[in-house]
Structure 1
Amino acid sequence: MPTMVFSMLAALAPEPGNRVLEIGTGTGWNAALLCHRLGSRNVVTVEVDGDNAADARLRLARARFHPTPVVGDGAAGHPGGAPYDRVIATCSVGRVPHAWVSQSRPGGVIVAPWGPEYGGEAVVRLTVAEDGTASGPFVRSCAFMRLRQQRSARPSSLEYLSGPWPADGETTATSLSPESIADWSAMFAVGVQVPGVFPLVERYDDGSYTLWLHDTAVTSWATVDGEPDRTAYEVVQSGPRRLWDEVEAAFHWWDSQGRPGFDRFGLTVTPAGQTVWLDAPAQPVPIPA
């Protein structure tokens, strides 16, 4: 998608003489653009798939570009080429590898698609500090393939059920339509507050549907039945986590903040972990215990 490629390169803002680490060579097009701007000697590109990397090298060579190619785990970066002035990822992450920060110069910039397990994803632009941390805002929405090392298994709904429907689920009701949480920024805000949870949607011919919520630990599940022209929706929940209750509370927090878009969120990365914040680093998004 050319508009996404160029918007991310604009956020990266590479300057003449900068050394750039690219995570995810793919077809090689983005690496070619970087080489054209900075010179091949200043570009290192990492690709986990050996066949893709070989194909990209051939394409780049035909275009007379010769960046340093690395076949390996993009989460590890490439310490042999460090320090870098810029790091750009062409795959999404749920955790920014600290190797990208530690291999960057102070003042360096990291641009990467970031999103929680639940969904909702945006491009973050981090600036690296002297103390080994990095922080910055989200600049636009996006949807990328996940970094291979961070992909989680997503079992089917049947693996969560202990018996015939509704299994051991407890039935309640909610006035919040599951459709309300389909907004991309709402999914992002919910996902940040409800870690380790992902949704699936089962649609029916009459226009109704069931929203399934699953935890990645395969301990808890929930369903909400979405039907047109309803004001109350049936909820079934099971397991130690009440997943719909968590999602509903997270949605109401987002709503209470004025339904912020991605431009009001940011991310701080430290050696110990990462924190999503709203409006300023001193205002972390709450994550219930």
Structure 2
Amino acid sequence: MTGYYAPKGGLPPQTALMTGRAIFTTAYAFLPKGVFSDIVTSYLPGWTKTRLWLIARPMTGFSETFSQYVMEVAPGGGSDAPDPETGAEHWLFFTHGLATLTIGDQAAEVEAGSYAYIPPGTPWKLLAEGAEPTRFHWLRKLYEPAPGIAPPDPILINERDLAPIPMPDTEGRWATTRFADPTDLRHDAHVNIVTFQPGGVIPFEETHVMEHGLFVLEGKAVYKLNTDWVEVEAGDFMWLRAFCPQACYAAGPGPFRYLLYKDVNRHAKLRGPGAFGPTR
């Protein structure tokens, strides 16, 4: 947990080669850190002194469930009404700076490594209070209720206070920092941190219904996306649709870590967007 990569913005010089590593396919999208320039930032109503890189959003025929922003809030900036979508749940992971985050009527200071889960319908606000910009990932999803199951409670914790859980039979080379209990069916998605030590691998081609967003926080590796092996490093983003095969080899020299989104714990939709049947 030596540090978290965050985009710096700027613009390459006119003398730079324009060809990079970015690619968009029907199975996955790969956004290398070099695409995070000033000219692709966005702004949001209700936020002051804030810009963002919008790196994932629901798209028919591709990924359907979530949006992901990389936020940069200048000192004194923030929002008292961050999102008008009352049905959305939110995950925030902070990579730089200091801010006060208020969830409901509870205010707390957040810093690098802080993680927050905000249930749907819960008011919240954020104020950047340090001398440097506050940077964080903000993931949003429309909460999908299930019969007889209440929405989850808020979560506010720092990853340094959690021990990564090793995957079975990996001798600790592959571990996951889990911010929510995976057996808690109140959650319809998880946002975790995955860590590979040098030499760690995903030893088979994972192929599953969960779609993924993976932002590389630290280190480098080679990652298999569908049929392609792609070199990835801190600051890169991978966006995988459902059933896109994936595997990983972390060559080192240090840990390879990424923030991972996946949708879980719900039936496959048979009607509406992402399905075949008509809406009711």
With the shorter chain as reference, the TM-score category is under 0.3
**Whose helix fraction is larger, Structure 1's or Structure 2's?**
1
Point out the structure with max Rg over C-alpha: 1
Choose between structure 1 and 2 for higher RCO, CA contacts under 8 A separated by at least 6 residues: 2
More strand by share: 2
Under a length normalisation based on structure 2, what TM-score does the superposition of the two structures give? 0.26
